[in-house]
A and B are shown apart, each in its own frame.
Chain A
Amino acid sequence: MSLRELVTGSDVCTPADGGAGPSNAMGSLANALVGRSSKTQEQLRELPGVHGLPGPSAFGGPQSTVDAVARAAAEGDFLDIPGIGPSAGFADEFLAQGRSQQQAGPLPPHFAAFEDIYRQSQRVGPRGPLPGLPPGQLGMQGPQLAPFLQAFLDSGKAGAQFQPLPMPQVPLSMEDQCQIRDRSTIMARHLFADRGDAFADEQVGKLLQSLHINPQALPAGSMQAGVSWDAIFHNAAPHHLMQPTMAADVAAGGQLAATAQQDSQWANEFAQLHLREEPSASANRWANEFQQAQPPAETWAQEFEQRNGPTSRWADEFGRQTAEGTTATSNAQAVDNGAALSQTRKLADTLAANKDPKFQNSKFLQFVSKMSRGEIILEDNQAKEATPSQIGGQWATEFAASDGGLDAAWRELGVAPSAWGEEFAAQNGVGSATGWAGEFAAQKGLDPAAATWADQFAEQFAPAEEVNQWMDEFAREIEGDVAAQRQNGGMEASMPGASGEYVMSADNPFLEDVDSFAKGKELFRHGVLSEAVLALEAEVQRSPGNVDAWRLLGIVHAENDDDQQSIAAMNKALAADPTNPEVLLSLGVSYTNELDQTRALSYLHTWLANHHVHGKVAASATPLPDSSQRLSWVVGLFQQAADQAPADADIHTALGVLYNLSRNYERAADAFRTVLQLQPRDYSLWNKLGATLANSSHSGEAISAYQRALDLKPNYMRAWTNMGISQANVGKYDASARYYVRALSLNPSAANVWGYLRTSISCAGRLDLMQAVEDEDLEALTRAQPL
């Protein structure tokens, strides 16, 4: 459900607020499935196959809809379902749409631009203020709430507990409060359907609490006395649960039945667009190739009809209509097949582009993906075993296994909810309905832990050994690694600083300055990072044994998003002071960033072993049971130490880093949040929390954490860069470019950020700025992309 609807109130969920109702069924369905979806919704609306879903909410409740389906089936009509519209209107509207696209405004020169226009229209929706803006400028609570509610939505994606960030008191009217309560309840129950209502209510409770809304103080549901939350939910739920049926009908089957004509028209139009992009290609060629890519095999809908036969009146009727429609337009059938499949594929792509894991796992996406996979499999020269009938069967099985609410709707109709689906599946001999889902899960699943490195490492290092002895061996191991890398001549060894040697800047104006250390510290305090680097480099060149100067230099490089140089500087510091805890911790962080688990783990373990308080935990630990368990063993030690010292910020910070290393992002975020309660003004911790959230697909929440870091330290180049990454992750490429430009104005030598900036500018379609990037003209870029 989009924030726009959540905040402005025009969705289907709240029946009695006079909202506008859903503008289309597909959009509402997507809303129900996706967290943030103004983007997806817009895209769906633009999809040719989904155009003709006009009108305000005409889903008058499950009964009337079901009746309509039954009636339509009995009469042999095209599915004359309220809210979807008859086929004629559908066609007219579609054609009008096509015409208006050609008349209103110039047609984009090629398809990419065509796509960009869609994207731009999506960006219009209020998605909250730019985080840099002070809330006061925005006046209304709506925009102010937006990022907050986004965070609430994002919290659901991995089933994480919602951790509200502190929120200033926002003046909300009673009506607003009711709306927030009602909508978030309904939404939460959709989002957390797999976690149960209690969990959803708990999340909502937290949301309301942090917004300073007391649910008890509000009138019951939608300002109507005596309606409970449950009632609201159950009133709203059938609307949504019915929509998959309708939407699926329309998107997949209904199209085949009566819109072959439009489809071919659409295909032609698409081909024309395509033509402009590749002048050599002809519309016919494109359409023809599509046909060739499709064998004359039936679509799933036809399969469905044939297999299912008399077992289901509805399916039978539906299938007959499909057949009629197909016969009536038989000369357009081939194009129709191609176009329908391409539509589905486009739909699948659009949906798959949404990275929301909740959505990625949704049944709807699985269904659409399967539709599109019909085509993929046929094109696949490996000739996967799946046949159209199997695909149809899987779909039916899954359909039957879908939400209980849907089943309930079917029951009202007097049809055994899953019987026909199972029968259909049985006829097709489909083995496992969850096969595809399983494959998907396996793809997305995380590997527990790499083992080989741990083996190697453990061979050289037994936990009982003396720390110093271990340090020696470790140093030797590192040298060996570096040598091996040099020998391999791999990519890493060719990167500057990868050899582990610190690279000094040339032409350092501070070299003659005897006071360079003090100046370096002062510059660092004022956030002038690049100058601080020069001053500190001058200092360490004069006195290479100055641990603090090396350490500060390492910190500055980390804040400037240069882990290689940071590591090199920290190693110099470590050479002078082998057990310096800050240095060890910082090395652990930097190697974690560089995804070098072996070294990150070593330094963090050394940090613990040398810790004046927690060292005894490491010393008294049971020996490592098995070398492949090293990561979890070290994490266990840290967890033990952290449990004993709940108020020790350092141990929780280290624990958070370790959990990042083990990909346990939820616990990592918890650890950082714990430290932030102790040290709320530590900007690097806010950044660590943000990075943890971003790397676990919570970019929305990450953005607010980065903002805290930047509020505390405006010249924190790493946080600006991270902010840019997160903005790109949520599809705001323009904003992302602005943050990268800002980061680069702080550290123009960050080559990777220049690359990211190109990426975002290219995705934002701002090719006019490419020359400025090419010239590394920050002034022009800042002018063009002001923050």
Chain B
Amino acid sequence: MGKASEPLFEQLGKTLKADGEQLAQKIKGLVLFKVDDDEWTLDLRSGAGSLTKGSPPNGEKPDLTLTMAENTFVQLVNGKTGPQTAFLMRKLKISGSMGMAMKLQPILDAAAPKAKL
């Protein structure tokens, strides 16, 4: 059951409510995360964006697909490793727009746990 990536994606979904618009302006694309066996679709094409579990609806083609093990995703979000390192170590596979992949960091930051008041 429980997965380390789940609360991080949950946090990403929440952060979209506040910062989605800003992120969407930066990314302007449809990003598909393949983390272990799970797929998460991050739609940052317009508005405040949205995050849904599963592949893109209506068979749409993602602009960027990021494939990695959960452990890698966790380390990326925690800042223990950087996207470039992970890519070089072949732990992160990127297909689609490389330019968009370069702007990955704000998305990872948005998924990091936030302290609660």
A759 to B115, CA, bound (A): 15
Given A278-B90, A443-B26, the answer on whether A762 and B115 have CB atoms closer than 8 Å is no
- Flag if B13 contacts A759 (CB, 8 Å): no
A763 to B71, CA, bound (A): 8
A342 to B5, CA, bound (A): 29
- Flag if B7 contacts A752 (CB, 8 Å): yes
Q: Which of A90-98, A174-182, A241-249, A593-601 contacts B (4 or more CB under 8 A)?
A: A593-601
Q: Which B residues are in CB contact (< 8 Å) with A379?
A: 98
- Flag if A759 contacts B8 (CB, 8 Å): yes
Cβ of A423 to closest chain B Cβ, rounded Å: 31
Residue of B nearest to A724 (CB): B113
Cβ of A271 to closest chain B Cβ, rounded Å: 12
Q: In this complex, which of B26, B47, B115 has the most chain A Cβ atoms within 10 angstroms of its Cβ?
A: B115
Q: Which B residues are in CB contact (< 8 Å) with A596?
A: 17
Q: A658-677 vs B: 1/0 string, CB under 8 Å?
A: 00100000000000000000
> Quick one: which of A193-238 are within 8 Å of B by CB?
none
Residue A589 CB within 8 A of the other chain: yes
- Flag if B19 contacts A353 (CB, 8 Å): no
Cβ of A706 to closest chain B Cβ, rounded Å: 9
> Quick one: which of A320-352 are within 8 Å of B by CB?
342, 345-346, 348-349, 352
Cβ of B22 to closest chain A Cβ, rounded Å: 4
Residue of A nearest to B18 (CB): A595
A355 to B108, CA, bound (A): 13
- Flag if B3 contacts A758 (CB, 8 Å): yes
Given A376-B84, A758-B3, A762-B4, the answer on whether A657 and B117 have CB atoms closer than 8 Å is yes
- Flag if A759 contacts B78 (CB, 8 Å): yes
Residue A539 CB within 8 A of the other chain: no
Cβ of B116 to closest chain A Cβ, rounded Å: 4
Residue of A nearest to B106 (CB): A443
Q: Which A residues are in CB contact (< 8 Å) with B115?
A: 690-691, 694-695, 702, 722, 725-726
Q: Which B residues are in CB contact (< 8 Å) with A687?
A: 117
Residue of B nearest to A702 (CB): B115
Residue B14 CB within 8 A of the other chain: yes
Q: Which B residues are in CB contact (< 8 Å) with A733?
A: 78, 80
Q: Which B residues are in CB contact (< 8 Å) with A563?
A: 116
Residue B59 CB within 8 A of the other chain: no
> Quick one: which of A456-501 are within 8 Å of B by CB?
490-492, 495
Q: Which B residues are in CB contact (< 8 Å) with A593?
A: 114, 116-117
A27 to B67, CA, bound (A): 35
Our pick among B10, B51, B81, B98 for the contact of A382 (Cβ within 8 Å) is B98
Residue A416 CB within 8 A of the other chain: no
Residue A310 CB within 8 A of the other chain: no
Given A688-B117, A755-B3, A762-B71, the answer on whether A728 and B78 have CB atoms closer than 8 Å is yes
Q: Which B residues are in CB contact (< 8 Å) with A657?
A: 117
A755 to B77, CA, bound (A): 13
- Flag if A692 contacts B117 (CB, 8 Å): yes
- Flag if A352 contacts B82 (CB, 8 Å): yes
A752 to B7, CA, bound (A): 5
- Flag if A376 contacts B13 (CB, 8 Å): no
- Flag if B53 contacts A756 (CB, 8 Å): no
- Flag if A491 contacts B53 (CB, 8 Å): yes
Q: In this complex, which of B18, B48, B112 has the most chain A Cβ atoms within 10 angstroms of its Cβ?
A: B18
- Flag if A763 contacts B116 (CB, 8 Å): no
A382 to B102, CA, bound (A): 11
Residue B15 CB within 8 A of the other chain: yes
Q: Which B residues are in CB contact (< 8 Å) with A561?
A: 116
A398 to B8, CA, bound (A): 38
- Flag if A450 contacts B21 (CB, 8 Å): yes
Our pick among B7, B13, B75, B89 for the contact of A763 (Cβ within 8 Å) is B75
- Flag if B117 contacts A592 (CB, 8 Å): yes
Cβ of A123 to closest chain B Cβ, rounded Å: 13
- Flag if A384 contacts B7 (CB, 8 Å): no
Q: A729-750 vs B: 1/0 string, CB under 8 Å?
A: 1010100000000000000000
Cβ of A490 to closest chain B Cβ, rounded Å: 7
Q: Which A residues are in CB contact (< 8 Å) with B98?
A: 379-382
Q: Which A residues are in CB contact (< 8 Å) with B22?
A: 446-447
Residue A111 CB within 8 A of the other chain: yes
Residue B74 CB within 8 A of the other chain: yes
Residue of A nearest to B21 (CB): A450
A348 to B53, CA, bound (A): 33
Cβ of B23 to closest chain A Cβ, rounded Å: 9
Cβ of A449 to closest chain B Cβ, rounded Å: 10
Chain B residues bordering chain A, tally (CB within 8 A)? 51
Cβ of B26 to closest chain A Cβ, rounded Å: 7
A787 to B85, CA, bound (A): 33
Q: In this complex, which of A561, A688, A762 has the most chain B Cβ atoms within 10 angstroms of its Cβ?
A: A762
Our pick among A381, A592, A726, A751 for the contact of B7 (Cβ within 8 Å) is A751
A729 to B77, CA, bound (A): 10
Residue A521 CB within 8 A of the other chain: no
- Flag if A349 contacts B52 (CB, 8 Å): no
A721 to B115, CA, bound (A): 8
Residue A372 CB within 8 A of the other chain: yes
Q: A255-280 vs B: 1/0 string, CB under 8 Å?
A: 00000000000000000001001100
- Flag if A595 contacts B82 (CB, 8 Å): no
Q: Which A residues are in CB contact (< 8 Å) with B71?
A: 762
Our pick among A382, A384, A762 for the contact of B97 (Cβ within 8 Å) is A382
Residue A754 CB within 8 A of the other chain: yes
Q: Which B residues are in CB contact (< 8 Å) with A691?
A: 115-117
- Flag if A755 contacts B2 (CB, 8 Å): yes
A103 to B88, CA, bound (A): 27
- Flag if A492 contacts B75 (CB, 8 Å): no
A774 to B21, CA, bound (A): 36
A598 to B113, CA, bound (A): 21
- Flag if A755 contacts B78 (CB, 8 Å): no
A725 to B114, CA, bound (A): 7
Residue B6 CB within 8 A of the other chain: yes
Given A353-B80, A759-B4, the answer on whether A752 and B17 have CB atoms closer than 8 Å is no
Residue A551 CB within 8 A of the other chain: no
Given A382-B99, A597-B18, the answer on whether A758 and B74 have CB atoms closer than 8 Å is yes
Q: In this complex, which of A376, A589, A702 has the most chain B Cβ atoms within 10 angstroms of its Cβ?
A: A376
A784 to B25, CA, bound (A): 45
A721 to B82, CA, bound (A): 25
Residue of A nearest to B101 (CB): A380
- Flag if A763 contacts B78 (CB, 8 Å): yes
A267 to B108, CA, bound (A): 30
- Flag if B78 contacts A595 (CB, 8 Å): no
A165 to B109, CA, bound (A): 29
A572 to B104, CA, bound (A): 41
Q: Which A residues are in CB contact (< 8 Å) with B89?
A: 111, 274, 277
Residue B65 CB within 8 A of the other chain: no
A260 to B13, CA, bound (A): 48
Q: Which B residues are in CB contact (< 8 Å) with A595?
A: 14-15, 17-18, 114
> Quick one: which of A340-371 are within 8 Å of B by CB?
342, 345-346, 348-349, 352-353, 355
- Flag if B82 contacts A491 (CB, 8 Å): no
- Flag if B117 contacts A755 (CB, 8 Å): no
Cβ of B58 to closest chain A Cβ, rounded Å: 15
Residue of A nearest to B20 (CB): A450
- Flag if B19 contacts A755 (CB, 8 Å): no
Cβ of B21 to closest chain A Cβ, rounded Å: 6
- Flag if B80 contacts A589 (CB, 8 Å): no
Residue of A nearest to B91 (CB): A112
Inter-chain pairs besides A346-B85, A597-B18, A759-B8, 6 sampled, C-beta below 8 Å: A111-B89, A353-B81, A452-B21, A492-B13, A751-B7, A759-B74
Q: What are 16 pairs between A and B in contact, CB < 8 Å?
A: A345-B84, A353-B82, A355-B79, A382-B97, A384-B99, A593-B117, A595-B14, A595-B18, A596-B17, A597-B17, A695-B114, A722-B116, A725-B114, A752-B11, A759-B113, A763-B75
Interface residues of B (CB under 8 A from A): 2-8, 10-11, 13-15, 17-19, 21-22, 26, 47-48, 50-53, 71, 74-75, 77-82, 84-85, 88-90, 97-99, 102-103, 105-106, 112-117
The 8 closest A-B CB pairs, nearest first, are: A755-B7, A758-B4, A691-B115, A447-B22, A694-B115, A752-B7, A595-B18, A382-B99
